Amino acid sequence: MHHCFPPVTRADTRLLVLGSLPGMASLAAGRYYAHPRNQFWRLIGDAIGSDLVALDYEERLAALLDAGVGLWDSVAAATRKGSLDADIRLLAASDLAALAATLPSLKAVAFNGGTSARIGRRQLGEINNVALIDLPSSSPAYTLAYERKRAQWRKLAAFL
């Protein structure tokens, strides 16, 4: 059984980005988006106007929080062979509504990929005055060109 990491948020979080469940490289490292080919840090850095790739992990998290961005996952726990979302089984969803209720400044929840969106939207339902945004996955398994991913991810800046 694999488990998600604790949420990275503050009371002033305006944008919550949700992945599905950390992949094997992330679980081994104990860090969000640790796979070197995952484009998350580059994409979210482009959205907030900061070169997060150049920072160490703790500095990346601090820069996200300072920009009003929080992180978590739609899946709290699941079995999975490897890192592909398609292989997630026996999942327990994260209590996203409870987390959202602790974020009074929340303007948007962004889903990093289809699995996160499918599970997360089911958990959240409708939240008053909070936009729900589906994003192309930052995973290297999702082969959409970086420029096309970036065009979608940059739309997050409107909520910061």
CATH of the domain at 20: 3.40.470.10
Low-confidence residues in the chain, pLDDT < 70: 82-90
| Distance from C-alpha of 8 to C-alpha of 59, rounded to nearest angstrom | 13
pLDDT at 30: 96
Residues 6+ apart with CB under 8 A from 130: 100, 106, 107, 108, 109
Full residue range of the structural domain in which residue 24 is found: 2-159
128 is catalytic: no
Number of domains the chain contains: 1
pLDDT at 79: 72
The three-point CA angle 42-43-48 to 5° equals 95
Catalytic residue among 38, 112, 128, 129: 38
Name the region of 44 (left: φ>0; alpha: ψ -120 to 50; beta: rest): alpha
pLDDT at 24: 85
Q: Are 106 and 14 in contact (CB under 8 A)?
A: yes
